[in-house]
Amino acid sequence: DWWEHGNFYQVYPRSFKDSDGDGIGDLDGVTEKLKYLKDIGMDGVWLSPIFSSPMADFGYDISNFREIQTEYGDLDAFQRLSDK
């Protein structure tokens, strides 16, 4: 299977690509860079935490698994990324 032998790129969205100029990377920024990641040989993206969090430990302290941290976008942004 592809995931057993694929190349994955771990992305911390906050510092990866800012799509809206607010100084914080976001899911739309990740979506914008997918072609680049594919061009350098990546088969998949491993997202660091993107869910709602008090951000005491870089987002790993998730407070709601059903909400995207607002700085990163919303469920629509996540859907756009997932659709790619």
CA dihedral 31, 60, 7, 16 (to 10 degrees): 40
What is the structure's pLDDT at 41?
A: 97
Query: CA distances (Å), 63 to each of 42, 49, 52, 57, in order?
Result: 30, 11, 6, 12
What is the structure's pLDDT at 79?
A: 98
What is the structure's pLDDT at 14?
A: 96
Q: Is 42 exposed, middle or buried (0-12, 13-18, 19+ CB in 10 A)?
A: middle
Print the domain residue range for 6: 2-83
- Residue-wise pLDDT for 6-62, tens only, equals 999 999 999 999 999 999 999 999 999 999 999 999 999 999 999 999 999 999 999
Within 10 angstroms of residue 50's Cβ, the number of other Cβ atoms is: 24
- Which of the four pLDDT bands, split at 50, 70 and 90, describes residue 2? confident
Report the domain count for the chain: 1
Q: How far apart are CA 51 and CA 71, in angstroms?
A: 10
CATH number at residue 22: 3.30.750
